[in-house]
Chains A and B, each alone.
Chain A
Amino acid sequence: MNILDIRGLTKKFGDFVAVDNMSLTIREGEIFGFLGANGAGKSTTINMISSLLRPTGGEIRILEKDIAKQSRFAKMNLGIVPQDLAIYEDMTAYENVSFFAGLYGLRGDKLKERAEEALEFVGLSDKAKSFPKNFSGGMKRRLNIACAIAHKPKLIIMDEPTVGIDPQSRNYILTSVRKLNESGCTIIYTSHYMEEVEEICSRIAIVDHGKIIAEGTKEQLKSTITDVKDIRIELKSVQGTEGELLKPVPGVRTVLQEENVIRVHSDAAVDNLNRILKQLMDAGKEIRSVEEQEPNLETVFLTLTGRNLRD
């Protein structure tokens, strides 16, 4: 069964088209990765699915029901973990969860039970009576998730739920996402961390300029990139001028920098590795290691959009 069906979805802000005739189907039980650089139209799409924005055109169906016509049904089956924390700092963790769950019609013992269950799920049972103002960033993120799941929605949209938290909390959240999925929830997951998306998502869509430009499993997406090779070069130190240095080399498309590693995306058909290395050595760069890698999601994203995901 399709949990989400989007047909010809369009959103215009004046003359600017943020989402352009987008169509997408998500099936029950998926963890669906929604990738796009800033301004690609990803958040606008999510906001329209959540009823925060009214579409200019098109149709959104949740569990086969039009959200414009059966808004309450759609809302009852939807949970949102917003990118920005959406919790009250002056209400205890339990009060936060039970207040939001109460808006979904839960009352009395059932409300109490669900709120406690949600807090337990995110590992905050022992902090139920504490105020979030005393929580760490990771704990606040977990509470943010608890507020979205207490009413047991069938579809959960997680908009960058791991932004700015420590690795331990990040792992906890990723494990929670998997557990939620195992319990029957369908999840739409957006992140700037490509490795997270690769790790947990069963299907991925790449959005650019308001349109879905690629969609499929990670393997399917990677297989579309046959004309690009990914060369990983570790240097003793990176000055940031390496991109300019390698631009004249035939076949080089883009150069990314990650600490003391540069990643060169180049035409697979052009044999230019020696030329790249020579260019670097002539410029006095000390090379520590060189490795030609299989294209990953980042390579796919970069090749399709011409932009880094974090741009």
Chain B
Amino acid sequence: MNILSIAIKEMKHDFRDRRTLLFMLGFPIVLMLILGLALTNAFSSEISVGDVKVAVKDATGGGPLSEAFAGFAKEVGKTGVTFEPLKPGASGREEVENNHVSGYVELTNQGISLYGSSRDAIESNIVQGMLASFTDKYNAAAAVARIEPAKTEMVLATGGSDYIRELSVDANRTPGSVDYYALAMTVMVGMWAAMGAGALIQGEVLRGTAVRLVIAPIRKSEIFVGKMLGGIISNLLCVMVIILFSKYVFKAYWGHHMGVVIAVLVSEVIMAMSLGLAGSYLLKGTASRGVISLVVQLMSFFGGAYFPILDDEGGGLMGFLVNLSPIRWANHGLTQVIYADNVSAAWPVLMLNIGFAALFLGVSILAMRRREGL
């Protein structure tokens, strides 16, 4: 009962401190909005490709390949890729080099050759993909023709104009800028619990109320647990507000495993509270708040709260610092949970958070036991 009344008192402090509350909720929401809008292009995976022109030189002198290719060219013409005969006397390679066309195709009795443009890499890749599909189909038709010539037409007609197939390396959904900052800001707010926890005991000492708590007929552990519980609930409520706001106002995507996401955030808040508490015991005095704030800001910076830090930036000192940030762990794990439906990615984050929380709490309890008063 004492634990509960101390927890409720803590929550009253937290929610009556309008300035801190505004900072806890307003700052991340505004930042989410500003960074989300400002960096929209940096997160966009859409590229628009206009009409693609390809020059063709048919050196087969007519025949099945020429006929099949004409049919193919007609089909793909509907998708915006046009195959035009090379002008007499013109060099196909030069046409590509001069950027008059995105590619040059030569049909010979030996097969098909494609010269792509490095300047129009995407267009060249599209053409290459289409030609690969065509040659697969043509080779199949030629093989059928050798055994059963009557069915050649049927093979060529199979699949219609399906010459483009998505063979994406990463078929998962990827976060847009608002999605990214919704997650990053939420994780950052969770980590801010460390700053509040830094003042959890110090605040009582500074207010003089630590005296009343210690002389009351309750155990130190009740004070400790009550204050932690109140802090955890307050911070989780802030985290939940950020999630709900981003989800319903900014339409951020939070995936289909909300329970797992919240579990990770709960573990993060507990770890942050423990870190702040241990910091305040080890550093003592009012300086501890400044040090804890600095540490949290560095964690936010290196953890990708303000701008994304990619995996390939993980080398050297930067990589070391990045990987030290609990915000990074949580961001990384939750991105996997939300966008790849990979729930197991949450486990390492949960284990790390709970492990560090146990360590920091152990340090705090030892320090508290050795200390007279709170």
Instruction: With A52-B373, A103-B217 as known contacts, state yes or no: A82 contacts B207, CB within 8 Å.
Output: no
Which residues in B have their C-beta under 8 angstroms from that of A89?
207
Cβ–Cβ contact B217 & A72, under 8 A? yes
Out of A53, A88, A104, A148, which one reaches B207, CB within 8 Å? A88
What separation, in Å, do the CA atoms of A240 and B370 have in the docked complex? 48
B1-45 with Cβ < 8 A to chain A: 1-2, 5, 9, 12-13, 16-17
Q: Identify which of A51, A76, A102 contacts B214 (C-beta below 8 A).
A: A51
**Contact status B16-A90, CB under 8 Å:** yes
Do A88 and B13 touch (CB < 8 A)? yes
* A80 close to B215 (CB less than 8 A): yes
Is B78 at the interface (CB under 8 A from chain A)? no
Give which listed residue, B208, B211, B217, contacts A76 with CB less than 8 A: B217
* In contact, B208 and A100 (Cβ under 8 angstroms): no
A226 to B17, CA, bound (A): 60
Q: A54-B372, A105-B217, A107-B1 are in contact. Are A80 and B211 (CB under 8 A)?
A: yes
In the complex, A82 Cα to B373 Cα: how many Å?
Answer: 14
Q: Given the complex, which residues of A lie within 8 Å of B207, measured CB to CB?
A: 86-89
Choose among B12, B213, B217, B218 the residue with the greatest number of A CB atoms under 10 Å from its CB: B217
Docked pose: A50 CA to B212 CA in angstroms: 10
Chain A residue contacts of B13, Cβ below 8 A: 88, 90-91
Chain A residue nearest to B2 (CB atoms) is A103
Q: How large is the interface on A (under 10, 10 to 19, 20 to 34, 35 or more residues)?
A: 20 to 34
Of all chain A residues, which has the CB nearest B218? A103
Check: A285 CB closer than 8 A to any chain B CB: no
- B208 near A86 (CB under 8 angstroms)? yes
Given known pairs A50-B211, A102-B5, A107-B1, the reply for A90 and B17 (CB within 8 Å) is: yes
CB distance from A258 to the nearest CB of B (A): 31
For chains A and B in complex, what number of residue pairs have CB atoms within 8 angstroms? Answer: 70
With an 8 A cutoff between CB atoms, is B342 at the interface?
A: no
Is B209 engaged at the interface, CB distance under 8 Å to the other chain? yes
Partner of A80, one of B12, B17, B212, B218: B212
A148–B212 Cα distance when bound, in Å, is 8
Cα of A104 to Cα of B207 in the assembled complex, Å:
20
A202 to B287, CA, bound (A): 45
Give complex CA distance A52, B374 in Å: 9
B211 near A86 (CB under 8 angstroms)?
Answer: yes
Known: A85-B208, A86-B209, A88-B209. A78 touches B215 (CB 8 A): yes
* B42 to A: closest C-beta gap in Å: 42
Distance of A145 from chain B, by nearest CB (Å): 12
B47 within 8 A of partner (CB)? no
> What are the interface flags for A126-164 relative to B under an 8 Å C-beta threshold, 1 for contact and 0 otherwise?
000000000000000000000110000000000000000
Asked if B216 contacts A104 (CB within 8 A), the reply is yes
CB distance from B254 to the nearest CB of A (A): 34
Verify B211–A82 contact, CB threshold 8 A.
yes
Nearest CB of B to A154, in Å: 14
Residues of chain B within 8 A of A52, CB atoms compared: 211, 214-215, 372-373
Q: Chain B's nearest CB lies how many Å from the CB of A21?
A: 20
Q: How far is the CA of A95 from the CA of B10 in the complex (A)?
A: 12
Q: Contact check, B372 vs A91: say whether CB atoms are below 8 A apart.
A: no
**Could you say which residues of chain B place their CB within 8 Å of the CB of A76?**
217
B218 contacts across to A, CB distance below 8 A: 103
Residue numbers in B under 8 Å from A71 (CB-CB): 217
CA distance A89 to B13 in the complex (A): 9
Q: Does A121 contact B (CB under 8 A)?
A: no
CA distance A76 to B215 in the complex (A): 9
Name the residue on B nearest A76 (C-beta). Answer: B217
Contact assessment for B372 and A53 in the assembled complex, using a CB-CB cutoff below 8 Å: yes
Q: Are A86 and B212 in contact (CB under 8 A)?
A: yes
B18 to chain A, nearest CB (A): 10
Q: Tell me if B5 and A103 are in contact (CB < 8 A).
A: yes
Distance (whole angstroms) from the CB of A115 to the closest CB of chain B:
13
B216 touches A75 (CB 8 A): yes
Distance (Å) between the CB of B109 and the closest chain A CB? 90
> Whose C-beta in chain A lies nearest to the C-beta of B8?
A99
Residue in A85, A91, A103, A148 whose beta carbon sits within 8 Å of that of B213 in the complex: A103
> Do B5 and A104 have beta carbons less than 8 Å apart?
no
Q: Is A84 an interface residue (CB 8 A)?
A: yes
**Bound CA span A87–B16, Å:** 15
Return the CB mask of A229-243 against B: 1 if under 8 Å, else 0: 000000000000000
Residues of A within 8 A of B372 (CB): 52-54
Which residues of chain A have C-beta atoms less than 8 A from B217's C-beta? 71-72, 75-76, 103-105
In the assembly, what is the distance between CA of A52 and CA of B371, in Å?
10
- Nearest B residue to A107 by beta-carbon distance? B1
* Residue of A with least CB distance to B216: A103
**Interfacial chain B residues near A80, Cβ < 8 Å:** 211-212, 215
A91→B215 contact, CB < 8 A: no
Once the chains are docked, how many angstroms separate the CA of A222 from the CA of B184? 73
Q: Which residues of B contact A78 (CB under 8 A)?
A: 215
Residues of A near B2 (CB, < 8 A) are 102-103
Write the chain A residue with the least CB distance to B16: A90
CA distance A52 to B216 in the complex (A): 10
Chain B residues closer than 8 Å to A100, beta-carbon distance: 212, 216
User: 21 A-B contacts, Cβ less than 8 Å apart?
Assistant: A50-B214, A51-B214, A51-B215, A52-B211, A52-B215, A53-B373, A72-B217, A75-B216, A82-B208, A86-B207, A86-B211, A87-B207, A87-B209, A88-B9, A88-B209, A90-B17, A95-B12, A99-B9, A100-B212, A103-B213, A147-B212
Extra 8 A-B pairs, beta carbons < 8 Å, given A52-B215, A85-B208, A103-B216 = A72-B217, A75-B216, A80-B211, A82-B212, A88-B209, A91-B16, A99-B5, A100-B212
Which 9 A-B residue pairings sit nearest by Cβ, starting from the closest?
A103-B216, A75-B217, A86-B208, A84-B208, A90-B16, A72-B217, A50-B215, A86-B212, A86-B209
Binding site for A on B (CB under 8 A): 1-2, 5, 9, 12-13, 16-17, 207-209, 211-218, 372-373
